[in-house]
Amino acid sequence: MFKIHRGLITKAALVTATAVLLSPFGAQAQTTSAPAKPSQSTSSATQEKGERWLHVRVICTDGRGDTVRVNVPLELAEKVLPAVNHDRLHNGKVRIDSTEVGDVDLHALMDAIRTAKDGEYVTVQGNDNDVRVAKEGSHLMIHVVDKGGSKKSQVEVKVPMKVIEALLSAGKDELDLVAALHALGAQGDVELVSVKDSENTVKVWLDSKNVAD
Amino acid sequence: MLLLAKAALGLGGALVVAGAYTFHEGVIRVDVDEYRAGGSHIHLWVPAAMVPMTMHFVPRHHFRDAAEHAREFLPVAQALFKELKKFPDAQFVEVQSDDQHVQICTHDGKLQIDVHDSSENVHMLVPLSTLDDVVGQIEESAPGA
């Protein structure tokens, strides 16, 4: 009786041990099976975590229908950008040449806009272009319509004032991109840039989804 | 009989442990299919854990050369791979035209690059931890590191 039980117990132990030892292969087989497209369900996961994603979408409207979509988590950009040291970009800051901005004091200019009331600051209506620069609430709006030539285009830029302030927070001759990204992350969902012309449609926007529209 | 079973279990166990260790970091997968006469069909599956191990046998001067050439990009690559591991699966880049589809995404801690073309299909899947290890080792070999 005891011998029968001992044999059974030994066999059961062997089977159990083999199953336990083989389980990593089973798990591995599952993880290495056909790679799938990232699930869109992760989108809700990112929303829960409060991650902010910058999206760029370019659609060629020339008939071929080429589309480019880029999705970047702002936190990733904030961490990686300081590692880029190329040309004028160092430690997440871009050095600007004062001669390039025509000796305009950007800080003084932005400070004036920040403290000013909402309104239209620049309105140019010409045969070739219409330009409108305005402050609406906490956003700086730039609207350009190019009417000249065969390629009519429309550009709309909407930048939160906090982002501009952060951008200019580095110093006189520098733009702090990392600080600007950080400030951008604190904003709600916003469409930052929209360009429409006869060949392309470009949209840059910010939201909490890790997938583009 | 029981002794034989125990010996088989011991051997099997050792093999499984070795296999589990080899595959614990996942698999690097490269698939290339060229759709033309005489086109290549490459299907490569390599245990990712083998890469950092194998790199120890590569002469150091090769790494120094690589580090020298990629000096500007190494900190960026290292920061990128380290940070990518923290994010959920996502599609970072997608380019679609009438005859081509390119996508770069992360999936289960792996960087996935797919190129579907009318003439060829390329599919690459590399664990981010392996990329991080490789870049780290190259950076350590950089002159002055």
Listing DSSP states for B55-80 in one string gives HTTS-HHHHHHHHHHTTTTHHHHHHH
Amino acid at B91: Q
- The full set of domain ranges for chain B reads 26-140
Amino acid at A104: V
The β-bridge relationship of strands A119-125 and A129-136 is antiparallel
Structure confidence by residue, pLDDT tens digits, A126-153: 888 899 999 998 899 999 999 876 778 9
B88/A42 touch (CB, cutoff 8 Å), yes or no: yes
User: What part of A 152-211 touches B (C-beta under 8 Å)?
Assistant: 210-211
Residue A21: pLDDT over 80? no
Would you place residue A172 in the very low, low, confident or very high pLDDT band (cuts 50, 70, 90)?
A: confident
CB contacts, 8 Å: A86 with chain B:
72
Whether B138 and B130 have beta carbons less than 8 Å apart is answered as no
- Read off the pTM: 0.77
**Can you give the pLDDT at residue A31?**
42
Show the tokens assigned to A212.
């583009």
B87/A73 touch (CB, cutoff 8 Å), yes or no: yes
User: How far from A162 is each of A133, A136, A139, A173, CA to CA, in Å?
Assistant: 17, 13, 8, 19
Say if A17 is an interface residue toward chain B (CB within 8 Å).
Answer: yes
Question: Environment class of residue A99 by beta-carbon count within 10 Å: exposed (0-12), middle (13-18) or buried (19+)?
Answer: exposed
| Rounded percentage of chain B residues whose pLDDT exceeds 70 | 99
Q: Which residue has the higher pLDDT, A130 or A46?
A: A130
CB contacts, 8 Å: B91 with chain A:
37-38, 69, 71, 210-212
**Can you give the pLDDT at residue B115?**
96
Q: Which residue, among A158, A182, A207, A209, has the nearest Cα to A92 in the 3D structure?
A: A182
Q: Which residue, among A173, A127, A121, has the nearest Cα to A149 in the 3D structure?
A: A127
A31/B108 touch (CB, cutoff 8 Å), yes or no: yes
| Beta-carbon count within 10 A of A69 CB | 20
**Can you give the pLDDT at residue A23?**
46
Whether B121 and B115 have beta carbons less than 8 Å apart is answered as yes
Distance (Å) from the C-alpha of residue B130 to the closest C-alpha of chain A?
15
Instruction: Quote ipTM for the complex.
Output: 0.79
Distance (Å) from the C-alpha of residue A132 to the closest C-alpha of chain B?
33
Q: Which residue, among A187, A185, A133, has the nearest Cα to A155 in the 3D structure?
A: A133
Whether B58 and A58 have beta carbons less than 8 Å apart is answered as no
**Can you give the pLDDT at residue A206?**
94
Show the tokens assigned to B92.
């970072």
Residue A99: pLDDT over 80? no
Question: Environment class of residue B96 by beta-carbon count within 10 Å: exposed (0-12), middle (13-18) or buried (19+)?
Answer: middle
Q: How many A/B residue pairs have CB atoms within 8 Å? A: 121
The stretch A92-111 carries a mean pLDDT of 79
A11-15, A88-92, B132-136: least confidently modelled range: A11-15
Structure confidence by residue, pLDDT tens digits, B84-122: 988 888 999 999 998 899 999 999 899 999 999 989 999
The stretch A36-48 carries a mean pLDDT of 55
Strand-pair partners of A56: A70, A204
Give the residue from chain A lying closest to B86, CA to CA: A76
Residue A35: pLDDT over 50? no
Cα angle, residue B108 at apex, residues B105 and B114 outer, rounded to 5°: 30
d(CA B74, CA B66): 10
